[in-house]
Structure 1
Amino acid sequence: MDVLLALGLVILLFVILGSGVWIGLSLLAVGMIAMEFVSSRPVGDGMSLTIWGATSSWTLTALPLFLWMGEILFRTKLSEDMFKGLAPWFNRLPGRLLHVNVIGSTIFAAVSGSSAATCATIGRISLPELRKRGYPESLAVGTLAGAATLGLLIPPSIIMIVYGVAADVSIAKLFIAGVVPGLFLATLFMGYIMIWSLLNKDKVPQAEDELSLGQKIYASRHLIPVVALIAAVLGSIYSGVATATEAAAIGVLGSFAISAIEGSLSWKAVKEGLVGACRVYCMIGLILAGAAFLTLAMGFVGLPRHLAEFIGALQLSPLALVLALTVFFLILGCFLDGISMVVLTIGVLMPTVQAAGIDLIWFGIFVVLVVEVAQITPPVGLNLFVLQGLTGHQITYLARTVMPMFLLMLGAVLVIFFFPDLVLWLPRNM
């Protein structure tokens, strides 16, 4: 009976989501229905206590601050200057300026923590430039969609904060653990660009006049503010001077200071940035609240116990478990965004993961990496929606262009499984 009820609730959730109701409200509605069926506890009491517990964590306050920092950078000259500083260094590399998508996304990911913000910011800078210079549209869009997901993996990462709170693991260690996999994934993307460009030389514009080393270094002065902000945010965390929340506050102050020094800070930018950060955080907060309450309701239904028993009965090896969870998250990614995927599933999966002997720091990076893949899978691939707004292309076209990045990211999942020290070496030695 419990299994049938749980299945019915899952189907009901997908029906409500498919009707266009906000994700957070959909989760709350299904939780309320479940509580009415399986618990004598007053629904209002359970809802209020659960929502308060899910949204009142001090660690979670880092989330709106990082969002605000990203919004400030998005609306000032800092992001535009980054392209100017990077472009001269890739003139002789196969693929040339297409690499700016990857490097730019990697750098901006280290100061924004958001995949969507990275995609929107780098897309507004790079896509017009790449079109003007005659680069193939499909490769420009596809590499941007894939590289922008690094906003989730390169610290500071919003979704790592959510996972750390849900799984009760060190956010600082999660941030450190994401560095090497993030750089590894960026290297894979750049490798693909180089191989594609060598095989399709006629589709890539000819190299421009080569600048001297001195000219390149002079152009790189535009990168100094970005590098300084990254050093301030990540350095304060890794040195132990600041917590994730305090580092986020440092990032906000630093972005204000740099924007003011460059003369691009205005009251309009401050107001729009604050409103944008509040709007995104309210959306995420509602999802967190709804997912926490639905998790409570599913606990009363018995879904965690049944799921653990089912997976335990299968006696999966660690590899088979990781593959099964990869498929599980990719299916969820077709319907839910990354934040709700993490909050809704971590509490249910944690006993099984711990029983399999999987390190929780490693599992956090695995989850983030798989959620990254879900950011570029239709119909709820957030990066695809952002790119659709930027380019006007159909989702089906965007999904085709990003398929190579999708396969590379799935390959990266297997690599970190067979070589877990790519994730765990830095946290163990810092």
Structure 2
Amino acid sequence: MTLASSSLILMAMVVVFLGSGIWIFAGLTMIGVGSLYFIHEFDLARIGSIASKVIASSAVSWELAAIPIFVWMGDMIFRTDLSQRLFRGLSPLVSRIPGGLLHTNVIGCTIFAAISGSSNATTATVGKITIPELMKRGYNTDLASGSLAGAGTFGLLIPPSIAMIIYGVLAEVSIVKLFAAGVVPGVMMAVLYSGYIILVSLLKPGIEPADRQPASLAEMAQGLWELFPILLLMTLVLGSIYTGLATPSEAAAVGVAVTLVIVLVTRQFSFAMISASLMATIRISAMICILIATASFLSAALAFMHLPVMITESITTMELSPLGLLAILALLYILLGMFIDGTSMTVMTVPIAVPLIVQAGFDPIWFGVFLVIMIELSALTPPVGLNLYILQGLTSQGLGRTVRAALPFFILLCFGTLLLVAFPQIVLWLPNML
């Protein structure tokens, strides 16, 4: 069967199964079964054998063990007062910077991302404290919500990142190096965001209260003490990974242990909290892992059809430049991100995209960071931009105003991506040091 006819049948199944509104994992499974049955003409017994072997092997990947542990750590933190400590600790430290407490969104999300791994959790946890405080103190609501919408996406870019674990498993690249690759770009984006807030504050003084008072040295010292538990947790988790003392899964276990100690020391432990966080972890982890397993089956089905090779050869004959290919993939990801979530987008596209970018000469570690940023952009694009809906709930504003508030940070994220394309060593410098 030709590439054109195979692609048409495949696209028809994608529209029917994923467009019908059924669960994504069920849709991926049906597309895989349909591809083997209608295109490759396998009988159902052989399809079942392939599915059982592929799903079983992908489900027992050791790297996947990090996902539920990191999710549990982040959920326990969400249910404690660490987000309040984060705000109280950062407030005096940013009081002398133009823009004042608006920087608590950017710096707070940067720090929380290093102990969370989730964009939505980062946005919701930081925002539930900062947004009410900023609005109460008279800061510009649009800049407050926009900066949080943009900075909340750091939960995917700054390690430990669940999105990077998923990509690493599917693309078969080092998760430790992926984690290292996200550090410098994450800090760079934080600097761009804070720089924008400073610039707007200088040009429009009315965005912050006129009576804002700088903190004293004693208040700054107290702020650092408030941040100590969070910084300790971040240092132990990331430090154990980068020094080679622990794998990501082992570092996640260290993070959970330290989080439990912090919860006990701060007298916030309760069996109800632990039970609720475990149930939430089971739901989220089961969703992610079953998506990865069914996506592996779909990848195997596409491999039997030789579709990735056929697509690669077809695009090669188009004689696209590496940057042209990257531009097409970026446009595809932005369009996909308007309608499906980042995890589904990753598991559906990595089997085809990675061979293409490797053949074009791009480093798969670099592309992992590029893909994560594309997922970040999708979190800021309606109608499925989850960060926008979280912000809409926190500010009680209309979706249109929330989108407009996030637009400058969407543009800054695009600009940051262009910098990574122009200077790939921003991504690769730290991984190459390991």
Place the TM-score, normalised by the shorter chain, in its bin: over 0.9
Q: Hey, what's the Cα distance between the residues in 2 that align with 1:366 and 1:163?
A: 11
Please list, as runs of the form range in 1=range in 2, the aligned pairs for 1:168-247 lying within 5 A after superposition.
168-247=172-251
Are residue 128 (structure 1) and residue 139 (structure 2) matched?
no
Query: C-alpha deviations, 1:287-345, integer Å up to 9, x for none?
Result: 22232222223334443123212321122222222222111211221222212222221
Q: Hey, what's the Cα distance between the residues in 1 that align with 2:287 and 2:192?
A: 33
1:352 to 353, 356, 373: 356
* Larger deviation, residues 80-89 vs 381-390: 381-390
Tell me the residue number matched to 1:21.
Answer: 22
- Say which SS state the counterpart of residue 402 (structure 1) adopts: helix
Report the CA distance shift for 1:54/1:388 in structure 2 as closer, same or farther (over 3 A). Answer: farther
Tell me the residue number matched to 1:378.
Answer: 382
The number of residues matched between the two structures is 430
Q: Hey, what's the Cα distance between the residues in 2 that align with 1:428 and 1:119?
A: 31
Alpha-carbon deviation of 1:182? 0.4
Amino acid at match of 1:163: Y
Alpha-carbon deviation of 1:236? 0.5
Tell me the residue number matched to 1:118.
Answer: 122
Q: Hey, what's the Cα distance between the residues in 2 that align with 1:256 and 1:207?
A: 40
Amino acid at match of 2:18: L
Structure 1 contact 101–126 (Cα < 8 Å) conserved: yes
Tell me the residue number matched to 1:327.
Answer: 331
Q: Hey, what's the Cα distance between the residues in 1 that align with 2:318 and 2:6?
A: 22
Query: C-alpha deviations, 1:75-131, integer Å up to 9, x for none?
Result: 012121111000112223221111111000000000011111101101111111111
Tell me the residue number matched to 2:254.
Answer: 250
Tell me the residue number matched to 2:290.
Answer: 286
Query: C-alpha deviations, 1:331-390, integer Å up to 9, x for none?
Result: 221222212222221221222222112112111111111221112112222222333343
Alpha-carbon deviation of 1:54? 2.2
Amino acid at match of 1:6: S
Report the CA distance shift for 1:392/1:12 in structure 2 as closer, same or farther (over 3 A). Answer: farther
Q: Hey, what's the Cα distance between the residues in 2 that align with 1:361 and 1:77?
A: 35
Structure 1 contact 2–302 (Cα < 8 Å) conserved: no
1:305 to 306, 309, 328: 309
Q: Hey, what's the Cα distance between the residues in 2 that align with 1:11 and 1:107?
A: 44
Q: Hey, what's the Cα distance between the residues in 1 that align with 2:8 and 2:405?
A: 35
Tell me the residue number matched to 1:31.
Answer: 32
Amino acid at match of 1:45: S
Structure 2 contact 63–249 (Cα < 8 Å) conserved: yes
Structure 2 contact 13–34 (Cα < 8 Å) conserved: no
Q: Hey, what's the Cα distance between the residues in 1 that align with 2:50 and 2:135?
A: 54
Once superposed, which parts of structure 1, at least 4 consecutive aligned residues long, lie more than 4 Å away? none
Q: Hey, what's the Cα distance between the residues in 2 that align with 1:8 and 1:334?
A: 23
Q: Given the two structures, how large is their TM-score scaled by the length of structure 2?
A: 0.95
Alpha-carbon deviation of 1:413? 1.2
Q: Hey, what's the Cα distance between the residues in 1 that align with 2:108 and 2:12?
A: 40
Structure 2 contact 146–409 (Cα < 8 Å) conserved: yes
Structure 1 contact 78–259 (Cα < 8 Å) conserved: no
Amino acid at match of 1:354: V
List alignment gaps of at least 5 residues for structure 2.
Answer: none
Query: C-alpha deviations, 1:205-252, integer Å up to 9, x for none?
Result: 124232211221122211000000001100110111100100000011
Q: Given the two structures, how large is their TM-score scaled by the length of structure 1?
A: 0.95
* Larger deviation, residues 191-200 vs 118-127: 191-200
Q: Hey, what's the Cα distance between the residues in 2 that align with 1:12 and 1:392?
A: 39
Please list, as runs of the form range in 1=range in 2, the aligned pairs for 1:331-410 lying within 5 A after superposition.
331-410=335-414
What is the percent sequence identity of the aligned residues? 45
Structure 1 contact 131–137 (Cα < 8 Å) conserved: yes
- Say which SS state the counterpart of residue 215 (structure 2) adopts: coil
Tell me the residue number matched to 1:154.
Answer: 158
* Larger deviation, residues 157-166 vs 346-355: 346-355
Are residue 7 (structure 1) and residue 3 (structure 2) matched?
no
Amino acid at match of 1:364: G
Q: How large is the Cα RMSD of the aligned pairs?
A: 1.7
Report the CA distance shift for 1:314/1:2 in structure 2 as closer, same or farther (over 3 A). Answer: closer
Alpha-carbon deviation of 1:20? 2.6
Amino acid at match of 1:416: L
2:148 to 131, 138, 144: 144
Q: Hey, what's the Cα distance between the residues in 1 that align with 2:17 and 2:154?
A: 31
Q: Hey, what's the Cα distance between the residues in 2 that align with 1:11 and 1:84?
A: 53
Query: C-alpha deviations, 1:244-269, integer Å up to 9, x for none?
Result: 10000001111111111011121111
